[in-house]
A and B are shown apart, each in its own frame.
Chain A
Amino acid sequence: MTAFDPFSALLGGALIGLASVLLMLLLGRIAGISGILAGCFYLSGTDKGWRLAFLAGLVAAPLIASAAGYPILSPQMPASWIIAAAAGLLVGFGTRLGGGCTSGHGVCGVARLSPRSIAATIIFMFTAMIVVAIMRHGFGG
């Protein structure tokens, strides 16, 4: 169980929104993490460079926060290696097939009122809720 913390959530969300707006204003790109990562695997030159720089910033954030004294917890992952790997495969393949993830569709697309992104966001949130319901309450729970 986790504690409800609306203030941190709003502030953190605002920073995610700010980063997305800045990336568009400065580089003219949508801050969709799945698309940014996937491009690293087949693009080259500047088009790859800005992607790697963005991802480096993403990974540097907890390291800098930790050095500044902000408590960083190691993420709690499922005990099963197979579930971790299967979930990763589903997320990787699914976000490419669907053209985006929580950031590209959920934040940037919904903010643009794109029907495509709104549909995607409803579908992946609903599916995830069903999977969590089955995993936590479905099997003899």
Chain B
Amino acid sequence: MPLLLASFLCGLIFGFGLLISGMTDPMKVLGFLDILGRWDPTLGFVMIGALAVSSIGFALARRRRAPLLASQSLWPTRADIDAPLVAGSILFGAGWGLVGLCPGPALENLASLSPRVIVFVIAMSVGMILHDAWQRRARASREIDQTAAVTASDG
């Protein structure tokens, strides 16, 4: 129960951050991405604020052996830049640029009950499920070849 409450509060703080920073407004996001138009640098400051706190906080968190409410800290372990990372980031960037919503703000905007946001989130979930089903099939066929690869997700 403390675990669920802590996670809820983290989501709540994250949501307030997206809201106050303007990330939940697709027009604001597109204004930042529109370098040929009237460029709105606001979201650059969101990154600066987020990175200032998270880089210091993560450096401190690294010193702890275990988190307070779980048995171990699951830090991502991969550092390589491979083809799926590049291809996936291109696809994600294309979708982000089309509408101005990335996963966090899209989910948060469900609260508005906007039908187009609901459609976006359903399509996003379908995209995730399709990818993961395809990956499981690919992994299953690789395991038949006895070359199981250990991967760590980034987040």
Residues of A within 8 A of B (CB): 1-6, 8-38, 41-42, 46, 49-51, 53-65, 70, 72-78, 81, 83-117, 119-121, 123-133, 135-137
> With a CB–CB cut-off of 8 A, which chain B residues contact A132?
30, 33-35, 97
* Beta-carbon contact of B23 and A12 below 8 Å: yes
CB contacts (< 8 Å) of A83 on chain B: these are 98-99
Q: How far is the CB of B77 from chain A (nearest CB, A)?
A: 10
Given contacts A75-B24, A85-B120, A127-B90, 17 further A-B contacts (CB under 8 A): A6-B41, A10-B45, A11-B49, A15-B13, A19-B17, A20-B50, A28-B73, A35-B155, A49-B3, A60-B111, A64-B12, A75-B101, A90-B92, A92-B123, A96-B88, A102-B96, A129-B35
Interface string of B35-70 (1 = CB under 8 A from A): 111101111111111111111011011001011111
Asked if B97 and A127 sit within 8 Å, CB to CB, the answer is yes
CB-based A-B contact count at 8 angstroms:
509
Query: Do A46 and B41 form a contact, CB below 8 Å, given A37-B107, A75-B109, A86-B95?
Result: no
Q: Give residues of chain B (133-150) contacting chain A, Cβ–Cβ below 8 Å.
A: 135
A-B contact pairs, 20 of them (CB 8 A): A2-B22, A5-B22, A14-B49, A15-B16, A15-B17, A35-B155, A36-B155, A50-B4, A54-B10, A58-B15, A59-B108, A61-B12, A63-B111, A86-B95, A90-B95, A93-B91, A98-B85, A116-B154, A128-B33, A128-B93
Q: How far is the CA of A3 from the CA of B19 in the complex (A)?
A: 15
